[in-house]
Structure 1
Amino acid sequence: MSAYARLERARLADLLLETGPDAPTMCAGWATRDLAAHLVVRDRRPDSGLGLLVPPLAGHGEHVRKQKAAEPYERVVAQIRRPPWWSPVSNPLVHELANHAEFFVHHEDVRRGGDTWEPRDLDADETRALWRLARFSSRLALRRLHVPAVVRAPGVGEVKVGDGPAVATLTGHPGEFVLFFFGRQRATRLEIEASPELEQQLRTRRFGT
């Protein structure tokens, strides 16, 4: 199994230190300190997610995150870099599966949070790993929309989603698909061949997190 979750984790920690605690991100309302706190809480405080199951506890996770965001920034980033040996999302059995998309997307949330950015030049192995994530996320999202479509990553792969003739063709790098279907459409570079109405729907739909 690849180790790209760990690599993206390390890259993001480096970038967070480089940008500092107050840089913009693609996560609405969050600066880098807020995003860093989210990642540490996700790793270390599984109780923060109880609000998803128990509505009266809906504010607990945000309270925990804000407490973490108030801590010294360098210490928070150090906790991202060195996750606990065991948690629901960081143990050796699930780390890669649970975290490659998470850390790739949040790395790009920081990279693309400002006005100027360019897609990274990723190696072939990580591109293939991202294509596996892209196939899964695109199938899930497009089937929910009941949109038959072709998802095409030139030189990497192509997949048909849904039944019947395709009414849309989406073309781009696998990493752009991952970002797109995690709700970062405004800062992704995908070509969409579809009716104007459907293209607008795809570019503004609330996907992912």
Structure 2
Amino acid sequence: MTLARDERAALVDTMRSVGPDAPTMCEGWTVKDLAAHLVVRERRLDTGPGIMIKQFAGHTESVRAAAATEPWDDLLAKLADGPPIYSPFRLVDRWANLAEMFVHHEDVLRGGADKGGPWQPRPLSPDMQNALAGPVKGMGKLTLKDSPAEITLRTREGVDLVTAGRGDTVVVTGTPGELVLFAFGRTPVDVEVEGDGPAVEAVKGAPRGF
């Protein structure tokens, strides 16, 4: 087993526990909607461009919506099985799917959390935190490049993982797991955002992710 497979199994267990109609951090999506997205991502390669390119998003969403009508247990079984043999994700699962499974697991776990209230993230193993530092570097450059400030994502140990964007300097400090979630635009997330007041407010209000 790899960390990506372990996180996939944990995600499926959590989805089964909360049920298909539970909320997620993906606005407008239930847990079943999210499961359909993950299944389609790995099994319908024609939907890939629509995840990042707006012109193709309609096709991607129509395929995902159709998948969301499948029986709940069937969707979970497909998600648990992982990428099929024809999917390129099968060869790169341990790298391409670690952050994907982690972020969407947190989407489910935090789906009902009060964004402005007290809240605690789940503990992660040192191995998992170390492994998530890689996606912070890769995804942070992509998702934060248009930020209204120059953002540095820094670990609690003082290691700068990535800097992106332009403008006044803002430092976002947290564990690699929380920094991944920040880079993907998730809320709530357990980080400290430091810098000049207007720059910090601009960063907090700016869209992130895809």
TM range (shorter): 0.7 to 0.9
* Equivalent residue, structure 2, for 1:207: 208
Q: Which residue of 2 aligns with 1:177?
A: 179
Q: TM-score, normalised by structure 1?
A: 0.86
Give how far 1:159 is off: 4.0
Q: Helix, strand or coil: the match of 2:171?
A: strand
Match of 1:101 among 82, 99, 111: 99
Q: 1:54 to 1:140 in 2, by over 3 A?
A: closer
Greater Cα offset, 196-205 or 73-82: 196-205
In structure 2, what is the Cα distance between the partners aligned to 1:139 and 1:164? 12
Question: What do you get for the CA RMSD once the two structures are aligned?
Answer: 2.6
Q: 1:195 Cα shift?
A: 1.7
1:86 matched to 2:51: no
1:195–1:41 CA distance, 2 compared to 1 (3 A) = same
Query: How far did residue 146 of structure 1 move?
Result: 6.9
Secondary structure class of the residue paired with 1:187: coil
**1:78-110 alpha-carbon deviations (Å, 9 max, x no partner):** 10000212313x222x11221111111000000
| Pairs within 5 Å for 1:57-136 | 58-83=57-82, 84-88=84-88, 90-92=89-91, 94-115=92-113, 117-136=119-138
Match of 1:4 in 2: 3
Q: SS at 2:97's partner residue? A: helix
Q: Partner amino acid for 1:202?
A: V
- C-alpha offsets along residues 151-199 of structure 1, whole Å, 9 cap, x if unaligned? 3212373346269997222211111110001011x21011011122211
Percent identity of the aligned residues? Answer: 41
- 8 Å CA contact 2:144–2:165 kept in 1: the answer is no
Deviations 1:113-153 (A, max 9, x none): 00265212111111111122223333444444374444321
Are the structure 2 counterparts of residues 54 and 160 from structure 1 closer, same or farther at C-alpha, using a change threshold of 3 Å? Answer: closer
How far, CA to CA, are the matches of 1:118 and 1:193 in structure 2?
A: 20
C-alpha distance in 2 between matches for 1:19 and 1:54: 31
The alpha-carbon distance between structure 1 residues 156 and 20, as it changes in their structure 2 partners (threshold 3 A), is farther
- How many correspondences in the alignment? 204
Q: CA deviation at 1:58?
A: 4.3
CA distance in structure 2 between the aligned counterparts of 1:137 and 1:53, rounded to whole angstroms: 16
Q: Which residue of 2 aligns with 1:13?
A: 12
Give TM-score, length-normalised by structure 2: 0.85
Gap regions ≥5 residues in structure 2: none
Is 1:154 equivalent to 2:153 in the alignment?
no
Q: Partners of 2:200 and 2:100 in 1: how far apart?
A: 26
